[in-house]
Amino acid sequence: MDSTEASVTHSELTDAGHQPVVDCVFGKEWSMNMWRHEESIVGPHENEHVVSSVTTTESANLLHEKPDMVPIKEEMFEDCYGRNKTEEDQGNSLREMLVQVECKGDPKWIRIPVKNDCYDFDEFIIEASTKYNLPRGTSVVLKDSEGFNVDADVFDELVRTTNVSFKILCSDKSDYVVQDESEISVSSCPELSSSSGKSKYSDSTGIPQSVKTRKRQLLEENPDCKVAKDLVYTALHSKLGGFDILKEYKQTNKLSDKTRRKLVNILVADMVESHGRIPPVNIRICYALGIITLFPHLKDKCSPSGYEQYYDPRSGLGYLAYRLKTVQRNSGNHCKVASKFVYQDGPKTLREISSSEQLSGDECTEAISLMKHSTDKTVIMERMRATFKYRQNAMHDPEKSSSILDDFPRFLDTPGLIDQDFKMLFGDEISSKFVSDWPTFYKPRIIANCRNLPFGVHVDDLLFGQQESDYGWDSDVAAILLLVQLLPPTVKTRKFGKISTALAAGRVVKFMKVGMNINGFLEQVGSTKPFLLCVGETRSSIQKFYVIVDQKAIPCTMKTAFAAFDELFKAHFVFAASYDEALYNFYTFIQTTVYGIDVGTAKESPRVKEIRVRIQNTEL
């Protein structure tokens, strides 16, 4: 292929849509782009050939005659074909792709490498620098076709969701000045479109041009609290409905769910208007920072920065991110991008355990055997403590986890073992937090927040349970279930679809009348996730509590509802049982906010963070 001429003519086009036969080399998307390109330049000249640059003389003439053609070198055919073939054989979900790149007026096709199932920004810059023979150490600025800077944090998402081309600006001063003055479009710099007699404000919005300049500067600067606050304040004043948001916060020091949604919609609209459908991460951070700076009572004190419920840069989640995805989905192609941050998963995480005073080998086996036949509670507690590490490792072993209660049957008749194992995981201070803080701090504030919820029979029944009644739940149980109302299910289950909060509450606690057979009741229920079984004459008069794990009843140590729920929550960690899918937000709130476990590393939805802020700022 060194001296041969490769050409694609109309005689070689297929009948179905006249697509050139290069589909097998570069893939369908690239082929269609080349076909459209060829159709546009052939026009009425039906007999002209489109010649590849593999020939030395004619390719130069072609490029001179058709300046928008991109030369394709021989090694690119061979290399790209080989790589795609390998990826097909391996069944990878993401393939390397080619994009148009221009540097110093020279357009070329350049491959985007894939790393960790993402299009890699750094490798792409290296590939482009090599292709253009840029001196080592050259500072490179990457811009898209509209003149916006492209950073590493949005590169993968941008490539996946749009048909993008790039321009490379080098550190050479003359090149940079020319590009900066001539190639950035008017749409990316709104103030350039105003008349020669520039006023202090833009004609369309009445927003000071200094604010718009500040928006552009945010692309390359770390967010500043004052700049972020002014950005959000200006956006609210320039959009319909923004004044109502400011007024509600001034009166109540909080925002209702409806108003919060309006706030997010306004800010995302402003963000997209200024920075496109895929704004850089630091722009998203700036808007999130501006929210909690303008509205300080919305700051989450348990999050690293306080604004993560609106945008979390580690995971890409938050109310602003959710709205951006909706805008992207409604306006064009949208591709789900994997999370950049790996979270701990609460109860399923295998945690470090001290090996001191822990049995192993034959001694451990002997202790386990002894406990199966012992009735001495002191001996049982000691042996359970000494075999804790073995038990935790077994909990995370798929082959052993299903038989834990068979190997350690004393869980079923010896109260206090769940609490003992939990203390060995997290210590006495964390273990006591729910029992000490729930009745005095969380319960009254949850009830106060639920009084502002929309009317609903189930909510009213639970609120009615705070008064003396023979029909509703015990007041402590009702308060726990009210938290489910504040953190309702957001996911759809395979069997039931999206379930109601009433059904979700039924997965936390179940009631059984005194005298019923407990084994028959559990067989009828058939739940595989841990839940609390309340046994009594009525829901308001509970006599016994059991934690149900793997269809087996473990008696609770205490006889109060909140102490029994404390054991239910701890059972998830002791038995490495994942949260019920519909109750994920509910249990995550209990884990991070009440117990303080994995704060900053556990995966929290924006709703969990928002409710935490509300409860912590509720004054009674």
pLDDT digits (tens, 9 = 90+) for 179-231: 333 332 323 333 323 333 333 333 434 444 554 455 454 444 567 888 899 89
With bands split at pLDDT 50, 70 and 90, how would you rate the model's confidence at 50?
very low
Phi first, then psi, for residue 546 (nearest 5°) are -130, 140
Q: What's 17's DSSP letter?
A: T
CA atoms within 13 A on the CB side of 255: 23
Average pLDDT, the chain: 76
Domain for residue 106, yes or no?
Answer: yes
Q: Is the pLDDT of residue 580 over 50?
A: yes
Domain for residue 336, yes or no?
Answer: no
Domain for residue 421, yes or no?
Answer: no
- The residue count of the chain comes to 620
Q: Is the pLDDT of residue 143 over 80?
A: yes
Give how far the C-alpha of residue 306 lies from the chain's centroid of Cα atoms, to the nearest Å.
Answer: 16
Residues 315 and 463 both lie in one domain: no
Residues 234 and 170 both lie in one domain: no
Are 268 and 324 contacting, i.e. CB atoms less than 8 angstroms apart? Answer: yes
Three-class DSSP labels, 102-117: EECCEEEEEEECEECC
Residues 107 and 160 both lie in one domain: yes
How far is CA 154 from each of CA 94, 163, 167, 337, 342, rounded to the nearest angstrom?
17, 14, 16, 10, 18
183 versus 587: which is more confidently predicted? 587
Residues 127 and 214 both lie in one domain: no
Residues 45 and 102 both lie in one domain: no
Q: Which amino acid is at 565?
A: F
Domain for residue 539, yes or no?
Answer: yes
Residues 293 and 229 both lie in one domain: yes
Are 548 and 567 contacting, i.e. CB atoms less than 8 angstroms apart? Answer: no
Q: Number of structural domains, the chain?
A: 4
Residues 14 and 116 both lie in one domain: no
Domain for residue 175, yes or no?
Answer: yes
From 605, 601, 563, 564, select the one nearest 584 (Cα to Cα). Answer: 605
Domain for residue 265, yes or no?
Answer: yes
Domain for residue 160, yes or no?
Answer: yes
pTM of the predicted model as reported, rounded to 2 decimal places: 0.58
Exposure string over 578-613, b if 16+ CB within 10 A, otherwise e: ebbbbbbbbbbbbbbbbbebbeebbbbbbbbbbbbb
CB atoms < 10 A from the CB of 125, how many?
17
The pair of three-digit structure tokens given for residue 620, joined into one six-digit string: 């009674």
Question: What would the pLDDT profile of 228-287 be if each residue is shown by its tens digit?
Answer: 998 999 889 888 888 899 999 999 999 998 999 999 999 998 888 888 888 888 899 999
Domain boundary among 280, 310, 331: 331
Domain boundary among 285, 304, 331: 331
Question: What would the pLDDT profile of 327-378 be if each residue is shown by its tens digit?
Answer: 887 765 444 444 444 445 689 888 888 767 889 889 999 999 999 888 899 9
Residues 161 and 267 both lie in one domain: no
Domain boundary among 288, 306, 331: 331
Residues 173 and 217 both lie in one domain: no
Residues 15 and 146 both lie in one domain: no
Q: Dihedral sign, CA of 578, 581, 582, 587?
A: positive
Residues 218 and 117 both lie in one domain: no
Residues 447 and 557 both lie in one domain: yes
Q: In which domain, by residue range, is 56 found?
A: 7-65
Domain for residue 371, yes or no?
Answer: no
